[in-house]
């Protein structure tokens, strides 16, 4: 395919090298955002000495970073709908880059706190825009697998990031964590300039139509017009429905720097107040609330362990150094790696199998049974971790519990985000804003109170209560599975 047609029409029909280049850039961005947010936890001992701050105060560096990551979605997504996703990714990445520079220059606790909030406000854009861009690029049947790669990168930043940070902090000091972040984010920004074109495409949709229905219609249209998928001559929606639509720029490189009339919202920034308010409609949508709570409570378990790791493992009997704490967090990544082959592909396979049993009719609820795996693994991992550490027993067994908890951070977003995008293909981006802001607010609330919670209840009771909350939230998926089609019909009318 020539550059002249590489970015013409629907992004789902772009060449694979463009789509996977975009996915790779998004994965690096989300990895670095989460590495930046969580990696500093391995350096709390050094920070406490240099900045004269107790562990309970240092925990706020993670809590408020998590808060900023989530709340920024409320700003970035409506802006992306008004000006385009590409310019928002680039601007937010520059903010992240500036915050990383401020972080390694910070001399006081308050200065470091301000730098981390600024950086996280920039890094947070990709957590909402990432799934939306992936939905633009991949057909429904591959969306969950692509989302699993994105979720793996997000989780990897939270788990591999502390290991990298631990070795850096022990050998070069805590500032080198932020120097490394500055270098990689800068390289990622340059890559995005050339390999992240605008993915917004104004697609015609019908009331009640799911993402799978829209994908099937697009493929049928192409096969009907040409009897084969000829990517050199992929028709756009305007050819199918007679509606006049704006085409993308003719040249790939011109396309990268063409920003006019590339957003979903034709009115541009004049529509920003309206777009800002739209996600809040999903507060009363059961599927969105379930996705927010399930994702948030799983994220909370990981963030709490990361926040408390220095307090739990630096003192006797473990006496872990920064690098040892970083290596310990790598154990949770094992759970992520083990879960990954099952998360996205299994969700897609279950969806296709249940569609065949349903006479070839696809329902978004066909993804939901995959939640049985995090239900069985993740909460039990919290309990195992707490009992091993509280009794000063084998840290190997506690690491197994940590890895069990981490499986939920791959399974749950892969299932619930795919479910939301499939259920509400026209307004799914609005739901993703609420979900990403809400899940971080849940994690923020749990994390900022975790030291008081630990002091009041003790490690065992605290983690048993958190595990019970995870079980309770995931059980809500059962009524949603059976009532989903009815709720979808009702909410579709409400969300028009």
Answer whether residue 3 is part of any domain.
no
Position 248 scores a pLDDT of: 40
Q: What percent of the chain has pLDDT over 90?
A: 56
Select, from the ranges 180-194, 253-267, 423-437, the one with the highest average predicted confidence (pLDDT).
180-194
Average pLDDT (130-156) is 83
- How many CA atoms within 13 Å lie on the side-chain side of 47? 33
Higher pLDDT, 257 or 368: 368
Taking only Cα atoms into account, the Rg of the chain, rounded to an integer number of angstroms, comes to 22
Average pLDDT (377-389) is 97
Contacts of 421 (CB under 8 A, 6+ apart): 131, 135, 143, 211, 428, 432
Position 234 scores a pLDDT of: 43
Which range (338-347, 372-381, 440-449) has the least confidence? 338-347
- Residue 476 pLDDT level (bands cut at 50, 70, 90): very high
Higher pLDDT, 488 or 118: 118
Q: What are phi and psi of 308, to 5 degrees?
A: -90, -5
How many Cβ atoms from other residues are within 10 Å of residue 10's Cβ? 19
* Tokens at 496, concatenated: 């028009």
How many Å apart are CA 92 and CA 374, to the nearest integer?
A: 32
How many Å apart are CA 84 and CA 262, to the nearest integer?
A: 6
Higher pLDDT, 56 or 234: 56
Burial class (CB in 10 A: 0-12, 13-18, 19+), 159: buried
Higher pLDDT, 478 or 367: 478
* Tokens at 204, concatenated: 């015609």
Position 230 scores a pLDDT of: 45
Q: SS3 for 64-127, per residue?
A: HHHHHHHHCHHHHHHHHHHHCHHHHHHHHHHHHHHHHHHHHHCCCHHHHHHHHHHHHHHHCHHH
Higher pLDDT, 218 or 305: 305
Residue 232, pLDDT > 80, answer: no
Q: Could you report the per-residue pLDDT of 37-94, keeping only the tens digit for each?
A: 999 999 999 999 999 999 889 999 999 999 999 999 899 989 998 999 999 999 999 9
How many Å apart are CA 281 and CA 32, to the nearest integer?
A: 31
Beta strands in 169-222 (DSSP E): none
Q: What percent of the chain has pLDDT over 70?
A: 87
Answer whether residue 303 is part of any domain.
yes
Average pLDDT (165-186) is 95
Answer whether residue 253 is part of any domain.
no
CATH number of domain containing 337: 1.20.1250.20
Position 421 scores a pLDDT of: 82
Answer whether residue 474 is part of any domain.
yes
Position 331 scores a pLDDT of: 87
Select, from the ranges 217-226, 259-268, 483-492, the one with the highest average predicted confidence (pLDDT).
483-492
Q: Is 344:414 a contact under the CB 8 Å cutoff?
A: yes
Position 244 scores a pLDDT of: 36
Answer whether residue 251 is part of any domain.
no
The domain containing residue 87 runs over which residues?
11-201+276-494
Q: What is the dihedral of CA 225, 230, 233, 235, to 10 degrees?
A: 50
CA distance to 77, 129, 275, per residue, from 279 (Å): 9, 14, 8
Higher pLDDT, 121 or 429: 121
How many Å apart are CA 30 and CA 134, to the nearest integer?
A: 13
Average pLDDT (313-331) is 92
Answer whether residue 406 is part of any domain.
yes
Q: What is the mean pLDDT of the chain?
A: 85
Position 247 scores a pLDDT of: 40
Higher pLDDT, 221 or 372: 372
Residue 293, pLDDT > 80, answer: yes
Answer whether residue 214 is part of any domain.
no
Position 243 scores a pLDDT of: 35
Answer whether residue 259 is part of any domain.
no
* Tokens at 38, concatenated: 């969580």
Q: Is 287:419 a contact under the CB 8 Å cutoff?
A: yes
* Tokens at 114, concatenated: 């301000």
Position 55 scores a pLDDT of: 87
Average pLDDT (425-453) is 89
Total domains in the fold of the chain: 1
């Amino acid at each position: 395919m020539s550059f002249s047609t590489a970015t013409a029409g629907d992004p789902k029909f772009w060449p694979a090298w463009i789509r996977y280049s975009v996915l790779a850039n998004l994965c690096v961005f989300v990895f670095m955002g989460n590495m930046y947010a969580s990696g500093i936890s391995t350096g709390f001992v050094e920070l406490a000495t240099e900045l004269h701050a107790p562990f309970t105060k240092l925990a706020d560096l993670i809590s408020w970073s998590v808060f900023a990551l989530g709340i920024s979605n409320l700003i970035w997504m409506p802006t992306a709908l008004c000006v385009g996703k590409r310019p928002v990714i680039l601007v937010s990445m520059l903010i992240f880059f500036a915050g990383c520079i401020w972080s390694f220059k910070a001399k006081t606790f308050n200065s470091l706190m301000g730098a981390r909030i600024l950086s996280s406000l920039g890094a947070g854009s990709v957590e909402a825009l990432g799934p939306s861009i992936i939905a633009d690029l991949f057909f429904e049947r591959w969306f969950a697998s692509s989302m699993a790669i994105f979720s793996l990168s997000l989780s990897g930043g939270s788990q591999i990031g502390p290991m990298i940070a631990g070795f850096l902090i022990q050998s070069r000091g805590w500032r080198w964590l932020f120097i490394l972040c500055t270098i990689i984010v800068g390289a990622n920004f340059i890559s995005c300039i050339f390999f992240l074109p605008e993915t917004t495409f104004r697609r015609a949709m019908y009331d009640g139509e799911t993402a799978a229905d829209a994908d099937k219609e697009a493929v049928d249209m192409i096969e009907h017009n040409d009897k084969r998928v000829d990517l050199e001559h992929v028709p756009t929606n305007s050819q199918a429905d007679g509606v006049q639509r704006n085409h993308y720029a003719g040249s790939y490189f011109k396309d990268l720097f063409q920003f006019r009339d590339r957003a979903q919202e034709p009115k541009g920034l004049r529509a920003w107040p309206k777009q800002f308010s739209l996600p809040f409609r999903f507060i009363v949508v059961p599927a969105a609330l379930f996705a927010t709570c399930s994702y948030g409570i799983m994220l909370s378990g990981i963030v709490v362990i990361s926040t408390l790791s220095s307090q739990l493992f630096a003192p006797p009997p473990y006496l872990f150094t920064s690098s040892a704490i970083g290596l310990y967090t790598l154990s949770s990544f094992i759970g992520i790696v083990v879960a990954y082959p099952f998360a996205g592909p299994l969700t897609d396979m279950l969806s296709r199998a249940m569609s065949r049993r349903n006479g070839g009719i696809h329902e978004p609820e066909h993804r939901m049974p995959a939640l049985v795996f995090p239900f069985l693994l993740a909460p039990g991992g919290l309990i195992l971790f707490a009992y091993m550490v509280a009794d000063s027993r084998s840290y190997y067994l506690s690491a197994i519990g940590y890895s069990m908890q981490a499986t939920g951070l791959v399974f749950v977003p892969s299932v619930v985000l795919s479910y939301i995008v499939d259920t509400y293909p026209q307004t799914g981006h609005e739901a993703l804003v609420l979900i990403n802001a809400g899940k971080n607010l849940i994690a923020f609330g749990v994390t900022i109170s975790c030291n008081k919670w630990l002091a009041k209840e003790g490690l065992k009771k605290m983690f048993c209560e958190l595990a019970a909350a995870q079980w309770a939230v995931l059980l809500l998926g059962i009524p949603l599975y059976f009532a989903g089609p009815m709720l979808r019909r009702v909410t579709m009318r409400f969300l028009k």
